[in-house]
Every structure is written in C-alpha cells, then in structure tokens.
Structure 1
Amino acid sequence: MGYNTYAEEGSLKISEDVIATIAGTAAADVKGVAGLSLRPLSDTKGIVRRKPGHRAIRMEMHDGEAVLDLFVNLYLGAHIPEVATELQMRVKDAVQTMTGISVSKVHVHVAGVVLTNEEPIVE
C-alpha cells in the first residue's frame, strides 16, 4: 500500500516503507529515544507476541491526511511527555516536508524502557 497523487503530468506513489523510514530517521534524532520497537500484540491470555509485519511505524490515510502510529523505546529517566511532544513535532514536520503528505496526527506509543539512563556518546 502507499499514498497516491495524480496530475495531468502523471502520478506519484509513495510507499509506506518510505514514509516509515522518514519517520524513523526523524524519531532517532530525538533526545531520550533509545530506538523503535515492533508493535506488540496481545493474545486472548494477555501474552505479548510479535509477528512479522507488525512494524514500529504504522500509517493510515483518513480524509487525505496521514495518521501515524510510532512505537518507541525510551531511555530510563527520559521525561515521557516532553519526548513524545518532540517526537510528534519532528516526525510530522519531516514527513510533510519530504513527501508533501499532510499529517494530521502522530500517536506515540512507549513500548519499552531501556534500563540505562545514559545515551551512547557519539564522537
């Protein structure tokens, strides 16, 4: 699946994988984010399982606008409301800027916490 636009000159199709890559790259730059997480699924007994195809970033189109669900792991000590707000702003801006697709919502799901409060030092 993907996002399609049509004009007199031709058409453009942007894959959901491309949008997920853009969103993931933007998310990785947010302080406090340890990484993306596969979307968890619970069975009837409440056991969380992960299945192929359940991605860290999911996109749906509603009335011509994208709604993104982003599943992330955060570092211990990260202030979740601040990190979530930053994620929403950066992901929305990156996707809209690079694709021209209007993003109405970015839902942030904190799937896990990395049990260290230190982010890796990048030199």
Structure 2
Amino acid sequence: MEETNISIKEKNTTLGKIEIAPEVLEVISGVATHEVEGVYAMQGSFKSGVNELLGRSAHNKGVHLEIDENGLSVDIYCFIKYGASVPQVAMEIQQKVKEQILFMSDLEVSMVNVHVVGLVTPKEVEKQQLSIQKELGE
C-alpha cells in the first residue's frame, strides 16, 4: 500500500479533517487477529523478524491493506493451531477485523481475505517453547 494517510469522512468538517496512517489499520487488524482462538501466529517478513529479535513486537506483520474503487480490503496471512477448525477460525478473523476497524476508525472494510499459510502442531509449539526457555537460561 502506498504511504498516504486515509481520510475519514466526518459529518462536521468545520473542525478540520482526520487522517489515519495505514500502519494504524494494520496494527488494529493484527491485534484483532491475535485475539481469535486458534490463531498461532502471523506470517512475517524479514523486517518483522529482525524487529522481534531486537525485542520489538510487530503487531502489523502478516497484514496487507489495499484501497481501490471497491473500498478498503485487508489481507491476513496467518498460521493456525493444529486441531482448530480452519473455516471457523478464518470467519471469526474476518468478523473481528471488520468490527475492530469500524469501531476504532469508523471505516468500512469491503473485504477481509484470510490466507492460512500453515498449521502448527503441538510438537512444534513445544519445541519452540523449549528453545525460548534455553535462550532465557531457564
């Protein structure tokens, strides 16, 4: 998405205009997705991986926004926990993202596309937790 802010159409324009940076909507979408039961993690980029290594959480990773003639569309790229109902989790992500963006920014979302890029098994979760414990020296 281009680096332009998104203007909010206000009923009372005498006070001025309101703009929201696309990154804010990405963070809202990422946090909303993490709140859905069955979501393990979001697919990140190299940049978000480096940020996490440096101790900075990237709440907008795995989220891509696009604005066109149809309106605002959101693409979510996530990993689902093994055993969760993928269609149920995906529909809940769609609903939650749409609700949170509307609630927090008063912007209508035309589409929320959920891309499940992988399933995470309990063994992989356990392996990662052991790895984190070793790094922390526990």
Give the alignment's TM-score, normalised by structure 1.
0.76
In the alignment of these two chains, the number of paired residues is 108
Match of 1:116 among 96, 101, 122: 122
Letter in 2 for 1:4: S
Match 1:99 to one of 102, 105, 121: 105
**Greater per-residue helix proportion:** 2
* Larger mean Cα displacement after TM superposition, 73-82 or 60-69: 60-69
Any runs of at least 4 consecutive aligned residues in structure 1 with deviations exceeding 6 A, and if so which? none
Q: Is 1:73 the equivalent of 2:76? A: no
Give the match for residue 18 of structure 1. 24
> Could you tell me which residue of structure 2 aligns to residue 59 of structure 1?
65
1:10, distance to aligned residue in structure 2 (A): 1.3
Q: Does the Cα contact within 8 Å between 1:76 and 1:113 map onto a contact in 2?
A: yes
Whose strand proportion is higher, 1 or 2?
A: 1
Partner of 2:57: none
Give the distance between the partners of 1:22 and 1:87, measured in 2 at CA: 12
Deviation at 1:103, TM superposition (A): 0.4
Residue 52 (structure 1) shift: 4.2
Whole-angstrom distance in 2 between the partners of 1:5 and 1:16 = 12
Query: Rg larger in 1 or in 2?
Result: 2
Instruction: State the identity %.
Output: 27
Q: Counterparts of 1:30 and 1:51 in 2: how far apart (Å)?
A: 24
TM-score, scaled relative to structure 2: 0.69
- CA RMSD of the aligned region, Å? 2.5
Unaligned runs of 5+ in 1: 39-49
Q: Counterpart of 1:34 in structure 2: which amino acid?
A: Y
The alpha carbon displacement at 1:115 in A equals: 1.7
List runs of 5+ in structure 2 lacking aligned partners.
Answer: 49-60, 127-138
Q: Distance in 2 between the 1:5 and 1:64 partners?
A: 16
Q: Secondary structure at the match of 2:113?
A: strand
